[in-house]
Chain A
């Protein structure tokens, strides 16, 4: 069983709307949690990284939250743009990182 579960698998929203992506993990020990954005045909690019002591981390219109007690994280995207269409990947752990399968986000005009 994957130690990092993401939901939903895919999501379609209209441009300008907000959305929230979820990540639940069972990875232990836990060191940090990262969100990556992967455009089609390209490698992932880091959006945020949080340690267990951080609850929120923002990067422009992207805000990640972390609840280390419940082992849940979310990525909130505000005022979506067409360029936000991509896969968003949650990654948990120290050096031996576990990757979620990703959420495929499509932003339509």
Chain B
């Protein structure tokens, strides 16, 4: 998975609980992305980063925030998890913003 790890790989949480997902890369790529994947929708971009402390919103950013204080780490935070945020979350990296390399995914269940 191109030097990308995601943690945790699985998480079960309750509605209203804050949740933070971590994406770590060892490739020194500039761009990092967070996606969610749901049946019938394909991957949808939540947020992305084009450098340390440089982030922007994607297609489905409501209810999510991100931070990137180091090149290698990109954090996705659900401030107050809802059942609609139950999904599989993928992190991706890219050197130039072109081809993306995806991590193994995190399965999140919000009860």
**Chain A residues in the interface with B (C-beta under 8 A):** 2, 4, 32, 34, 41-46, 49, 89, 94-97, 99-102
Chain B residues, CB < 8 A from A102: 42
Chain A residues, CB < 8 A from B1: 42-43
Contact B42 A43 (CB under 8 A): no
Contact A43 B92 (CB under 8 A): yes
Chain A residues, CB < 8 A from B92: 43
Number of B residues, CB within 8 Å of A: 22
Give per-residue flags for B81-106: 1 if the beta carbon is below 8 A from chain A beta carbons, else 0: 00000000010100001111111110
> Known: A43-B90, A43-B92. Contact between A99 and B102, CB under 8 A?
no
Chain A residues, CB < 8 A from B101: 46
> For the complex, what is the distance from the CA of A43 to the CA of B35, rounded to whole Å?
11
Contact A89 B43 (CB under 8 A): yes
Chain B residues, CB < 8 A from A96: 45, 58
> Known: A42-B104, A43-B90, A43-B104. Contact between A99 and B99, CB under 8 A?
no
